[in-house]
Structure formats: structure tokens, C-alpha cells
Amino acid sequence: MTTRLIVWRHGNTDWNAGHRVQGQTDVPLNDLGRRQAAEAAELLLTMRPDAIVASDLQRAADTAAALATRTGLTVSHDERLRERFFGSWQGLTMTEVASQRPLEFARWKAGKDVGGDVEDLDVMGKRVSDALQDAAALVPAGGTVVVATHGAAARQGLAHLLGWSREQNRTLRALQNCHWAELTYDEDRDWQLGAYNVGVFADRPVPPAV
């Protein structure tokens, strides 16, 4: 039997719209984000989820709640699903980061560890991957679990779960707000990526996954 895991990025926030680094700052959904969550939830409902897990940050938790209200399921929260901790970058626009911290910004653009007080990629990947595996274990074989998380956390957590190198991971563009990746697991084939960046708003620009 195959278990299905849906890794879902939260809806839009004012900081997404302003290209401002959120990291683990607890920024709420804006009106667009709430609308995105509601519309995406209608589509996810057709997958008949058996469990919903979310980051405890408000934007992911409220995105998950939109699906919970339609399924009658209770959302479990896991702080390991939080976004990457961006330290002193948090609250800055990406333009400000590039101007004020050019060496760190260059490392980030190259897919390397930033240094300073920004969380290392491997550390983030492992914590998110561990949370994803624990979420999948909540449902019996053949079940479906939906996990609401964040852009950078989703991409790095998926790469760690799939055993991908950083170079492979950089071939994935960021998940759009309220889009998701679909993975499956069975004992013979382990984890496999079935779909990526699926959702209702495929024609909209992608805010930075930060």
C-alpha cells in the first residue's frame, strides 16, 4: 500500500507581497492568502486527506485550518515545520539584504550556507524531513496526509527526504503560495516525487521562499 504526502506552502502574506524576509517571524495571511487557502482547500479536499499537520507559525496554521474546516479533521502543529531561521535578515527586503549583507546574499544566491545567524541548510533539511516522516506515520498505509509549511522549508525538507544533493535541489523552483508537492511512499520504492508546484494559481509570480 502506498502512503501519499502532500507538502503545502502557506498562502500569501503582506511580507511575501513586499519581498520581505519572513523566516520565523510570525506574519499572518493577508486577504489574498486567505482566499488562496480557501480555494486550494477545495481542491485538496478531493484527495480525501486522513490527517493534517502544520507549522505552528500563523500563516501555515491558518492555511491548514482552511482545509480542516472542510474535512472535520483536527490540525496537529509541529514547530519543526517552521520556515528557515533567517536571523538578522528577518524583516528586511531582499534588496536591503543584497545592499547591507552582500557576501551573505551572494552565498544565498549560490545555494550555499549563508553563515552568521542564518540556519544551515542541512540542519533545516533534517528537521523538516523528520517532521514530514512523522506526519506520514500518522496515517495507515494507503492514507493521505497534508502538511502545511513554508517555501524554503518545503524545498529543503523534500530534498533531504528524497536524498537529493544541493545541486539537484537547486533545479526546483520555489513553491508558489498555496501550491504543493505530492510524494508517495511504499516499502519497495521508498519516497518518490509525483508532482510539484500544483495548485490553483499557476500563472501568478512566485514570491521569494523566505
User: Which residues are annotated binding-site positions for substrate?
Assistant: 9-16, 59
Rounded distance between C-alpha atoms, residue 13 and residue 47, angstroms? 26
Whether 45 and 70 have beta carbons less than 8 Å apart is answered as yes
> What does the block give as the cell for 146?
497534508
What is the DSSP secondary structure assignment for residue 33, as one 8-state letter? H
CA distances from 197 to 41, 98, 172, 182 (A): 15, 27, 9, 9
The burial class, CB within 10 Å (0-12 / 13-18 / 19+), for 74 is exposed
From 10, 150, 160, 179, the catalytic residue: 10
10 an active-site residue?
A: yes
How many contiguous H segments (helices) and E segments (strands) does the chain have? 8, 6
Rounded distance between C-alpha atoms, residue 50 and residue 6, angstroms? 11
CA distances from 66 to 37, 43, 192 (A): 6, 11, 27
From 39, 83, 104, 119, the catalytic residue: 83
Question: Cα 51–56–62 angle (5° rounding)?
Answer: 70
77 an active-site residue?
A: no
Bridge partners (DSSP) listed for residue 163: none
Which amino acids are annotated catalytic? 10, 83
